[in-house]
Amino acid sequence: MNVVFVEKLLRVQPHMKRLFLLIRATNDETARQRLQNDVMEKEVFRILREKHGKDFCSFIWDKVTPVAGDIACENLGIEEKSMKEEMWREINVIVNVAATTNFDERYDVSLITNTMGAKHVLEFAKKCVKLEILLHVSTAYVSGEKTGLILEKPFHMGETLNGIMRLDIEAEMKLANERLRELRVNGATRKAETIAMKELGNQRARFFGWPNTYCFTKAMGEMLLGQLRENIPLVIMRPTIISTTYREPFPGWIEGTRTLDVFIVNYGKGKLRSLPIDRRMILDVIRQLQLREV
């Protein structure tokens, strides 16, 4: 989703002054290399590449500033003081689409990325003097497994889906850290550590009423945003399954084999012979980023 979002902005907003793109990298040079290899070279940029021809690269470098960092860290892991100050001075819109989307991710990894990462983005946003909006992309599945009408209402801090007891995010962070420390003291292998931390995440999610670690940690991220936002203009978007592009920049593009494509590919290869379904159910799928020009 990150790549198709960047492509869309550059294609429909050519007069955009600058896009600061946070890239997980050790330094700015590595971030530039990742922008070149992992973003600009992708097929989704075909229309832009055809439009700008030999000037495509110069157009990208003029508009996009790769920034080495990580939302798992305070100040988004941006070390260069001048870069942070420039971003705080110039940014007027922040879009946070960073997340780990594995349903059974390690609890410690999912907490630091999906939960604390949202908090770090908000703290950074508060320092942006021209900020007009912070858009945080969550997931529809924070609502858990329900039937009937599901309202788009924000979470209150400590709210749980099963209402059994109050959720304490700090206690969950402490629990994950203590379990990790225990595993390492006892000499657990890397594989055993990963399995144990994945099990812990799913156990804690189900304890409070969520189906998996991903939904649970994204919900906690929303809670922190709502609790700490103060006067920051905030929008939380909860998309469902995101599939291939519908029309733009051309039909059928998706990065890798994901979501519904897994079923389609395996059916085409003859590996999936049958699929139990309920014909009465509604499948909610979003075709990637059909944003309107403004």
Q: What phi, psi does 133 have (nearest 5°)?
A: -165, 145
Specify the residue for token string 């075709």. Answer: 287
> Residues 289, 8: contact at Cβ < 8 Å?
yes
214 is catalytic: yes
Cβ burial of 161 (10 Å; 0-12, 13-18, 19+) is: buried
- Given 17, 214, 246, 269, which residue is catalytic? 214
Separation CA 118–CA 213 (nearest Å): 16
The two tokens of residue 226 are: 């709502």
> Residues 99, 117: contact at Cβ < 8 Å?
yes
Provide the 10 A C-beta neighbour count for residue 193.
18
Residue 249: asked if its preceding bond is cis (omega within 30°), the reply is: yes
- Which of these, 122, 289, 103, 107, lies nearest to 222 by C-alpha position? 122
Q: Are strands 285-287 and 241-243 parallel, antiparallel or unpaired?
A: parallel
Torsion 26-28-33-35 (CA) sign: positive
- Which of these, 292, 294, 289, 293, lies nearest to 95 by C-alpha position? 289
218 is catalytic: yes
201 CA to centre of own chain: 18
- Given 218, 246, 267, 269, which residue is catalytic? 218
Catalytic residues: 214, 218
